[in-house]
Amino acid sequence: KLSKRLECVASYITKGMRIADIGSDHAYLPCYAVKRGVATTAIAGEVAEGPYQSARQQVAVSDLDGLIEVRKGNGLAVIEPGEVDCVIIAGMGGALISEILESGKDKLSHVTRLILQPNIAAANVREWLLDNRWQLVNEQLIEEDGKIYEILVAERGDANHPYCDMKKELLLGPFLLRNKNEIFQKKWQQELDQWEKILVELEKAEKNPKTIEKQGELNEKIQIVRGVLE
Ligand code: SAM
């Protein structure tokens, strides 16, 4: 059975899309999506040998060899322009996801949808999307096994509304901000608690330009989040 997190990621695939799952590990996501007839075909990309072999094995035992191709390579290097409609990158940090998108930009020319699930630093991904003229069309928070995950869905185009409070929207997500549900409150309360702990430590530490800068950044984020939670 697929994890709730990946099931949720898969739910944003438009029926009939050809997908690429970059950093596919066991290829659970493409196997699920193709088996259910949501995606017509898939490419599972993996940079590491172990996960690449697991992906190949999973595709073979699922009897999906004809519909899912497992390719070994770094990021978007495994796809050719025009081969897929939708790129999925899940389960990595936001900085790595942005880096993969940035270095494979030329492969995205025919891609109409991105489904991204950063484990941390989603702001980094939102910033890349904004800078590269991809607009968010949906965002979702889900909780599984005590962890909270963010899922970002984007299509080509400029943000449909200019970000009015840029820092706040990049950090918290324009769609998630419109629906400050229980998981949202929980996630940001946890982040707040963590940042406040770090601040206490920084206050004890010897002052240098780096710690002062870090304090400034944390204080700014704390202020933004407090303003939203209250
Ligand atoms: N996408 C799956 C998920 O969400 O459950 C697997 C996530 S797993 C934590 C991250 C996978 O990404 C690993 O298998 C790793 O080898 C792969 N990976 C990391 N950097 C990559 C890159 N630049 N290109 C392709 N795969 C990468």
Say which amino acid occupies 176. Answer: L
**How confident is the model at residue 160, as a pLDDT?**
65
Cα–Cα distance between 129 and 156 in angstroms, integer? 9
Q: Is 38 helix (H, G, I), strand (E, B) or coil?
A: coil
Cα–Cα distance between 54 and 57 in angstroms, integer? 5
Tokens describing residue 160: 């449909």
**25 C-alpha to center of ligand 1: Å?**
6
**163 C-alpha to center of ligand 1: Å?**
31
Q: Answer yes or no: is the C-beta of 74 below 6 A from any ligand 1 atom.
A: yes
Q: Answer yes or no: is the C-beta of 5 below 6 A from any ligand 1 atom.
A: no
Q: Answer yes or no: is the C-beta of 93 below 6 A from any ligand 1 atom.
A: no
- Ligand 1, atom 3, residue with closest C-alpha: 91
**49 C-alpha to center of ligand 1: Å?**
11
**46 C-alpha to center of ligand 1: Å?**
6
Rounded to 10 degrees, what is the CA torsion of 18, 20, 25, 27? 10
Cα–Cα distance between 52 and 50 in angstroms, integer? 5
Q: Answer yes or no: is the C-beta of 88 below 6 A from any ligand 1 atom.
A: no
**78 near 55, Cβ under 8 Å?**
no
Q: Answer yes or no: is the C-beta of 90 below 6 A from any ligand 1 atom.
A: yes
Cα–Cα distance between 46 and 27 in angstroms, integer? 9
- Bridge-based pairing state of the strands 134-144 and 147-156: antiparallel
**221 C-alpha to center of ligand 1: Å?**
29
Report the CATH number of the 4-161 domain.
3.40.50.150
Residues of the chain with pLDDT under 50: none
56-86 tens-digit pLDDT: 999 999 999 999 999 999 999 999 999 999 9
Chain centroid to Cα 102, Å, comes to 14
Q: Is 16 helix (H, G, I), strand (E, B) or coil?
A: coil
**How confident is the model at residue 143, as a pLDDT?**
98
**How confident is the model at residue 81, as a pLDDT?**
96
Q: Answer yes or no: is the C-beta of 115 below 6 A from any ligand 1 atom.
A: no
**How confident is the model at residue 162, as a pLDDT?**
62
Which of 115, 94, 175 has the alpha carbon at shortest distance from 140? 175
**17 near 85, Cβ under 8 Å?**
yes
